[in-house]
Structures are given as C-alpha cells and as structure tokens.
Structure 1
Amino acid sequence: MKVKSVIVPSGMEHLTKFTRKIPSDVNVVPVTNDDSFSNIPLKILHPSKKGRGKNEDSMVLYGQFGLKSFIFMGDLDRRGERQVLQDYPSLKVNIVKLGHHGSRTSSDPNFIKQLEPELAIISAGRHNRYGHPNQETLNTLKMENIS
C-alpha cells in the first residue's frame, strides 16, 4: 500500500526519531482538535495545542460507525483525559479503546464513568514487560460494569 500522508499530533513532526523513519515522499500532517478532514470519518478531540510529541500529546479520535460510537485514546494520560472531558463535557461513547495499554497512568475512574462505555478495548501484548493492563485499570472497569 502506498502511503501519501501521515497525520500526527501537532509537534510530533519535529521529532527526529519519528521523522527519520518517514520516507521523504510521505507528507506529514500535524493536527490539533481544530482540524478536520472531510474524507476521514473521525473527529480529532486531542491535542488542543501543539505539543512535543510525547504521550500527553497523543491524538484522541472519536467516531460513529453504524449505531456505535467509539473513542480511541492513544497513550493519553489522566491529565489529558481530564482535558478531553473539559473540552467535551457531554462526551459519551459505546466503546473506548483505553489509553496507554491499560496502564495506571490512564483510564481515570472519573473519565471512564463520564464516558459510560459498554465495552473497553485494551491493546497490550500478552505477558508484556510492563505488566499491562494494570490491575487498577481492570478494577475501574469492573466497578463500572464494563466488559
């Protein structure tokens, strides 16, 4: 598949460890939540300003597919989750792809409670070296009765 453009959180386009992996004929498009694309069925919720390409600058995407709403949290931390809630106070979703592989630095109980998801997805390798997902995150999901 030929990639023409890569969309990244604003600020990441300056990270040498990222840019050296991108072929010179690929367009890198930095974005914030002020940006939108008519040909992409996802809304950018975060970042709201240019960052340095760190986890706290992760891109958060929201979309509706069929009758379900989704949010994809990237590696966003709890502070970033609180910022998303501040920017979108009525945000609710059916399905959440949890941030930072289910680590304890993400998935704040208040954030999860606000979203009211019926299903959470955690992307983490089996027996990974970080022990993801964290038991605290799993307990948060259990307390909110989220599969």
Structure 2
Amino acid sequence: MGKTFVITVGLMAMVMVLVREIALLPDGKLHLHLLDVGQGDAVLLVAPSGAQILIDGGPDLSTLSHLDALMPFLDRTIDLLVITHPDADHISALPDVLRRYDVAQVLMTGAEHSSGRYDALRAEIADSSIPVIHPDPAIDIVIGSVVLDIVWPTPLYTGSSNDQSIVLRVLYKEHSILLTGDIEEDAENAILASGANIESDILKVAHHGSRTSSSTGFLLAVDPDLGLISAGRDNRFGHPHEDVSSRFIHFSIPIKTTAREGVISMKF
C-alpha cells in the first residue's frame, strides 16, 4: 500500500513536471512577463524562437524565483540582459542572475553611478567576459523575428540617472511594446523632440507610475491601448501617483499593475 502510494505520487510529480516543460516550449508567439518584484522593475520577454530577454532584475532575489517558474528547467541561457539604469530597485538580483544563468550579451549605459550593488554587477559582467553593447538609437538589436528598437538614450546625453534609462520599442509582426525604464519628463521631452517613432500598443509606464513621468505629450505620442505598471503593494511612494492614473483615465487607457494582479503575462 505504502510503496504503491509512493510510486503513484512520484509518477504524478513527473507528469506535472512534463506538462510544465511542454507548456514552456516555444509556441511561435512573443511572450511578455512583467514580473511581480514589489517596488522595482523586471521584465522577461520570450521570443517566438524561445530566446529569452531579461530587462532589469528587481529589488531583491524574488526575480530568480520568477525566472525558475517561467523558463524551461534545463534552459540556463538568457540571450540578452538589458540593464536600463543603475538604481537598486532594478539591479539587485542581477549579480545572482549572472552567476546562475549563461548570459550571452548585456545592453547597458555607461552612466556613472557609485554603489556597492552596481559595482558588484559590473565586476560580475567583466569577470564573466560577457560582451557589452551600449545604447545608440542608430542601431537595432534583432533576436530572431523580434526587433528591439533602441529609442533612448543618445550617446552624448548627460541627464539624470533616471533620464539616462534605456528605452526600447519591441517590435514583433504588427505588435509593439514600449519599455521606458525610469525616464522622467526631461527625457520624455527629448525623445519627443528627436522625432523617434514611439507609438506602441503596450506602454510599460515609466518610473512605476511616478508623477514625474507619463506627461500628456508623451502619452499622446505613444497612444497605447494598455499601460502596465510595476509597483509594490501599499508602497511608500504612492505609486502609481493619482495624477498619472487620472491622465490614463482621461485618455481612456486601461492600466494593469503588479500591485493588484501579481505577474502580468501577455502573448502576441
């Protein structure tokens, strides 16, 4: 009786693992996962080919648990790691990510920033001899059928750390997603002045919905069908700010937040 029970439980566990692995096989679609990392930022994109792109790493090691759940068990490769800017709420898990996964290349700015976390991250990248790309709007990064259009920053821009955040427009077939890091209104205005095409179906709202971002002109230019916000539950900053929420309501743009929904997953 006991032995039969153990065998049955073991077989059920194997079936569950197999079902999970089959569900994670490439399905010809682009998958977007806005990870629930509290008051921070981390996004996992899975290309139709199965290639994996991680944008930022959140404020703590919860990012690792999300990657374990969303990536195939035997797949330890991240094809591109994007570090939008050096703030701790975007990078804290990344040294551990680099130790646990094989990261093929890193996209990051050369922004000066002095912190133990950022120094440890840069040291880990250097020690692992990972190729580093610096953002330049003149180039695109192509991963299979997915194009990452580098919108911002320009090589000579010297604004604040937040305003130097990497902004990417992700393109797949007729779909578009704008990922905005922590840019604030100065960078938004500079992007608008540059004439860059930022119209997108999905907007990952900048700076967790802070009142310093998502200006009226920027929202009009993006013209999204949906806004996504990464923010912690009952966070001390009051993100998303009521002014930002009101702007989205005014323009009839629905919002989803990780604070309310947990991990937000979409496929295209």
TM range, smaller chain:
0.7 to 0.9
- The verdict on how the C-alpha distance between 1:59 and 1:28 changes in structure 2, with shifts beyond 3 A counting, is same
Q: Tell me which residue corresponds to 2:133.
A: 29
> Which deviates the most, 104-113 or 20-29?
20-29
TM-score, scaled to structure 1: 0.86
- Deviation string for 1:43-96 (max 9, x for gaps)? 100001244771010000002234321111110001111111122355321111
- The verdict on how the C-alpha distance between 1:90 and 1:29 changes in structure 2, with shifts beyond 3 A counting, is closer
The alignment partner of 1:137 has SS state of: helix
Q: Tell me which residue corresponds to 1:108.
A: 215
Q: For residues 160 and 186 of structure 2, what CA distance do their matches in structure 1 show? A: 16
TM-score, scaled to structure 2: 0.50
Q: Tell me which residue corresponds to 2:104.
A: 4
AA partner of residue 104 (structure 2): K
Instruction: Compute the displacement of 1:118 (Å).
Output: 1.0
The percent of aligned pairs where both chains have the same amino acid is 28
Confirm or deny: 8 A CA contact 1:63 1:69 kept in the other structure.
Answer: yes
The alignment partner of 1:21 has SS state of: helix
Q: State the superposition RMSD in angstroms.
A: 2.0
Q: 1:72 aligned to 2:179?
A: yes
Instruction: Compute the displacement of 1:32 (Å).
Output: 2.4
Q: For residues 8 and 53 of structure 1, what CA distance do their matches in structure 2 show? A: 15
Instruction: Compute the displacement of 1:131 (Å).
Output: 1.1
Q: Tell me which residue corresponds to 2:152.
A: 46
- The verdict on how the C-alpha distance between 1:7 and 1:53 changes in structure 2, with shifts beyond 3 A counting, is farther
Instruction: Compute the displacement of 1:37 (Å).
Output: 2.6
The structure carrying a bigger helix percent of its residues is 2
**Higher alpha-carbon Rg:** 2
AA partner of residue 153 (structure 2): P
Confirm or deny: 8 A CA contact 1:15 1:53 kept in the other structure.
Answer: no
Confirm or deny: 8 A CA contact 2:149 2:171 kept in the other structure.
Answer: no
Instruction: Compute the displacement of 1:36 (Å).
Output: 2.8
Instruction: Compute the displacement of 1:129 (Å).
Output: 1.8
Poorly superposed stretches of 4+, deviation over 4 Å: none
Instruction: Compute the displacement of 1:108 (Å).
Output: 0.2
Q: For residues 124 and 118 of structure 1, what CA distance do their matches in structure 2 show? A: 20
Confirm or deny: 8 A CA contact 2:199 2:223 kept in the other structure.
Answer: yes
Q: Tell me which residue corresponds to 1:15.
A: 113
Corresponding residue to 2:243 among 121, 136, 140:
136
Q: Tell me which residue corresponds to 2:93.
A: none
AA partner of residue 48 (structure 1): T
- The verdict on how the C-alpha distance between 1:90 and 1:20 changes in structure 2, with shifts beyond 3 A counting, is closer
Q: For residues 108 and 90 of structure 1, what CA distance do their matches in structure 2 show? A: 16
Q: 1:96 aligned to 2:203?
A: yes
Number of matched pairs: 145
